[in-house]
Amino acid sequence: MRRRLLAGLAVALVPMAWQVRTPAAAGGRSCESLAALTIPNVTVHAASVVAGPLTPPGAQTALTLPAFCRVEATARPSSDSEVRFEVWIPPVEAWNGKFQGVGNGGYQGSISYTAMAAALRRGYATASTDTGHTGDDMVFGQGHPEKIIDYGWRAIHVMTDTAKLMVRNAQGRLADKSYFVGCSAGGHQAMSEVQRFPDDYDGVVAGAPAHNRIRQAFGFMWSWTATHTPDGKPILTQPKLALVTKAVVEACDGLDGLKDGLITDPRTCTFDPAKLACSGADDASCLTPPQVDAIRKVYDGARNPRTGEQIYTGWARGSEGFGEPASQSWRQYLLEPGEPSRIGLFRYFLFHDPNWDVHTLDYDRDLAYAEERLPHLPAVSRDLSAFKRRGSKLLMYGGWMDPVVPPQDTAAYYEAVAKALGGYDKTRDFFRLFMAPGMGHCAGGPGPNQFDALTALEQWVEKGVAPDTLLASHSSNGKVDRTRPLCAYPQVARYKGAGSIDDASNFACVAPAPVARPVRTSS
Ligand SMILES: [Ca+2]
């Protein structure tokens, strides 16, 4: 997240804070004494003041941080659990009185030190967990159903519970407010907390939530199969993906009334890759018939072959290849892996067969089986009423060019929650979604993609000022070259008709023009 604003201030407040602190006056206790806490199922390995740069395990560079109390611990909520986590607590003089849990990425089992550092610099006490395993390959779930539960929801909740207690013991009082901030898997964790433990957090930032965890994996199987030959060779290349994105933007940029290189809502775009079909031999400027077919299938998304039901959305038009890095195209998760991303869910979580072959996947029976067997994995309940009733706030965001978590799924979830609650008006008072045109996965992309969601959420939770817009910026070579408001869904930013299209002040949030949603564009 973006927390540059307050970083300097927090650093300035900190010098020698631990030395001048008087534990008795603060009502708390020394950092070192936290090691003696006797919390059920929790082992505290170390508690000590860090007063200089910290190089996290596995990192190449040191984090520059204000002084803080570092607590390292392991929770064992089940006999097969091994949930490592850390809690970082500022000295009382530098503490903003609040707690922030931070999320993870992918299936990665590692503590999110960079996110913790950002929270600490803002004055937060903060915590992160490795979610109960190490590594990213999902083998940890083989024969360890409890570890899958830890990954699915339990590690974050246990971390939250325990960290709050540690903060209380260090500071002499509970935190005034608690926030959770995460993107991707962190967005999934955010939604799991909102649904399963609505009392854990007062404010939650859920970026690009990968919370439709099972169906997204079916989507990965579908899209990988669509983009590879039966013997596993990729049908598409990076230049072809970039070619398609360029053509998509050319075709659909103007649909929103402004030619600015951005598609306000790719769901309005019906671009057919057959428009790029080679008329003769294959070359860099065209698509072969198998390439056209592959792209159509990825747009269409996974379907139940028996009922025709869409079981997971396709990937968005415009997300094919909008940047050079593999993460800014279908390359990282769809094209380049020699096997489908998340195949481990089927091998190690579901079928317990390390040799399971994606070509044997049954999109009908296997989906039903997965949803019955792994109910702890997704967080897609539409009933957020307990979180709403408590007065907590949820700020969700997504990028309309996201090549990892298809943005249509994020928008569809918001629409479904609004429908369950009786409309957008009954949803906006506690849950708002901000979709960013031209933004990739959590950040990046040709559209404005830098914004401070946490400050907006703090204003909402602590002052009752709900965010109607988030001010987003885009930079090239470290220089801001465009600003644009992100609007509370379903509103969109519309150009007022005068002034620079790179200046947010020349845009207003309005209801989207009614556009017939495209149905399938290929069979
Ligand atoms: Ca446009």
Q: Give the chain's residues under pLDDT 50.
A: 1-26, 519-523
CA distance 4 to 284: 42
Of these residues, 144, 157, 188, 441, which one is catalytic?
Answer: 441
Q: What is the pLDDT of residue 25?
A: 35
User: How far, in Å, from the CA of 254 to the mean position of ligand 1?
Assistant: 5
pLDDT score recorded for residue 291:
98
| Ligand 1 center from residue 256 Cα (angstroms) | 5
The pLDDT score that the predictor gives to residue 277 is 98
Q: Known catalytic residue: 81?
A: no
The answer to whether 422 and 440 have CB atoms below 8 angstroms apart is no
Rounded to an integer, what distance in angstroms lies between the CA atom of residue 490 and that of residue 411?
Answer: 9
φ/ψ of residue 97, rounded to 5: 85, 5
Q: Which of 200, 256, 300, 402 is catalytic?
A: 402
400 alpha carbon – ligand 1 mean position (Å): 12
Are the CB atoms for 112 and 201 separated by under 8 Å? no
Q: How high is the pLDDT of residue 2?
A: 43
Tokens of residue 109, six digits: 């089992």
Distance 509 CA to ligand 1 centre (A): 15
CA of 295 to the centre of ligand 1 (A): 22
What pLDDT is stored for residue 517 in this prediction?
Answer: 54
441 an active-site residue?
yes
Q: Is 402 a catalytic residue?
A: yes
| Edge-first strand listing for the sheet containing 98-102 | 42-50, 68-75, 83-89, 125-129, 98-102, 177-183, 203-207, 393-399, 431-436
CA distances from 380 to 63, 191, 192, 206 (A): 35, 8, 8, 13
The catalytically annotated residue of 184, 223, 319, 392 is 184
CA of 508 to the centre of ligand 1 (A): 14
State residue 352's pLDDT score. 95
